Amino acid sequence: MKKIFNLFDFSQKVNYKNEILAGLTVALALIPEAVAFAIIAELSPLTGLYAAFVMGLVTAILGGRPGMISGATGAVAVVIVALSVSHGPEYVFATVILAGLIQVLAGVLKLGKLIRLVPHSVIFGFVNGLAIIIFTSQLVQFKASNENGELEWMTGAPMYTFLSLVVIAILIIWLLPKLTKIIPSSLAAILVVFGLVLGLGLETKTVGDIASISGGFPPFHIPMVPFTLDNFMLILPYAGIMAGVGLIESLLTLNIVDEITETRGSGNKECVAQGTANVLSGFFSGMGGCAMLGQSLINVSSGARARLSGIVAAVMLLVFIMFGADLIEKLPMAALTGVMIMVAVGTFEWASLKTFRRMPKSDILVMVLVTLVTVVLHNLALAVLIGVIISALVFAWDNAKRIRARKRIDDDGIKHYEIYGPLFFGSVQAFNEKFDVLNDPEEVIIDFSESRVVDMSGIEALNKLTQRYSKQGKTLHLRYLSEDCRNLLQNADAIIEVNILEDPSYKVAVDKA
């Protein structure tokens, strides 16, 4: 019973008013996004709404970050659209289930900690790119269908009405927190704009103009896909990409919410929760998804800090689908557009612009590149991957240049090489250039007290160096190797033969003559 209480965070102090109001705000904001992402994936709008409900509910209960919101996302929609067009929704549902299983496996193997390898410059680029995407995606709301069914910019009274309502929503979200925090400003903006439209009888675009959201409880069914090796190999690449995209976006969102709330979530637990949610989403006619940074920021900025807000958001979304579709379809899109524009403004890391003169040029390059890839390709996973690779290469290059060797000959005629910096694939060439094998005395000691052997390339460099000294009839000693370095050399005894000698004052690895 205690575990159940801990699961719902009843052991923590919860502001129920904030949680419920935040959840209601998120539920309203989820509707147009879920519908839009389903349309992008060439699926029924209800497919996106069902995914938002299942993903939101499961991750709110089981996730590793209370207050974080999950649902149908554009990143996932972009991945599955080709499969949806060519093979239909049943194959999409099967793909979502397989992607969920991969994510659960990632959590069980504790791969969530790999998010630590993402540099801050990449996170800045990811967040800024996502903010730009959120903002630009709202511009389509300023367009309307013409007689040919094509979208074109609104003009005249419709544009002035829509723009005025968006500005009113933005001003409420900006000013209300300065006056009171009794009600979330985003919810207040939605209600005020809704009231103005109904009270004044204004004609403007509504949620119902996008698509109908009326439906029942998500139907359970097993995807009607023949279980064959060919079909498995068909959906596996899509499932793998979807799993990777979902985990990257979810774990980065978790990190950002951690920073905002000054608390720490569990990446591995979130991986399992995301995977479980996707498996259930596939079985309950959903397109799958992952964490949503924009919705999470709406939730957190509304004062939510516990799991209750996410549960309320998911449940209210289902209530809207089953019982309140007629009312929700009358919601003005201008109110939701204003909310999402302010989310974009709040998401953008404005502080990153102030650090341009202070950050290393490589970090600025990474941040700008990740932002551009995110905006141009709408591929968050690829953007993050490119950023991590470039950052890793820059780090390796910088460390490769740091290896140094101080040389001296002691009173016994033994030459000492004191190495500074890591010995790895990038520094091997510089390391080899430090030694004068032909002119060195009969006995040489390499001191690793300020260095360490990092990888196989480092071992191979030592192997070749010992061979060079051996051919000249000279003895080479390796001194002050750390425990992990000695273990690395012992494990590579098929490549380099060394003896580990214990010494009262230092430990030596001696090459066999």
Query: The domain 404-511 is classified under which CATH number: 3.30.750.24, 3.90.320.10, 3.40.50.1820, 3.50.50.60?
Result: 3.30.750.24
Q: Are 46 and 85 in contact (CB under 8 A)?
A: no
Confidence band of 513 (pLDDT split at 50, 70, 90): very low
Q: Compute CA 433 distance to the chain's CA centroid, rounded to the nearest angstrom.
A: 42
pTM: 0.75
Sequence-separated (6 or more) residues with CB below 8 Å from residue 430: 400, 401, 403
Of residues 91 and 10, which shows the higher confidence score? 91
Per-domain residue ranges of the chain = 2-357, 404-511
**Res 497: pLDDT:** 43
What 3 state SS string does 174-207 have?
HHHHHHCCCCCHHHHHHHHHHHHHHHHCCCCCEH
Confidence band of 505 (pLDDT split at 50, 70, 90): very low
**Res 452: pLDDT:** 85
User: What are the distances in angstroms from CA 343 to CA 134, 293, 298, 323?
Assistant: 8, 9, 7, 28
Confidence band of 438 (pLDDT split at 50, 70, 90): very high
**What does the pLDDT look like over 359-381, one tens digit per residue?**
888 888 899 999 998 888 777 77
Sequence-separated (6 or more) residues with CB below 8 Å from residue 97: 223, 278, 279, 282, 283
Q: At 464, list the tokens.
A: 């070749």
CA distance 367 to 354: 13
Q: Compute CA 62 distance to the chain's CA centroid, rounded to the nearest angstrom.
A: 18
If you ran DSSP here, which 8-state letter would residue 498 be given?
E
Q: How many CA atoms lie within 13 A of 192 on its CB side?
A: 20
User: What are the distances in angstroms from CA 68 to CA 169, 261, 355, 440?
Assistant: 24, 11, 28, 63
Q: Is residue 424 predicted with pLDDT exceeding 70?
A: yes
Tell me the mean pLDDT in the region 267-292: 95
Confidence band of 493 (pLDDT split at 50, 70, 90): low
**Res 492: pLDDT:** 56
Mean pLDDT of the chain: 86
Confidence band of 19 (pLDDT split at 50, 70, 90): very high
**Res 455: pLDDT:** 86
Q: What sign results for the dihedral spanned by CA atoms 43, 298, 69, 304?
A: negative
Residue 508: beta bridge partners? 479, 501
Q: Is residue 419 predicted with pLDDT exceeding 50?
A: yes
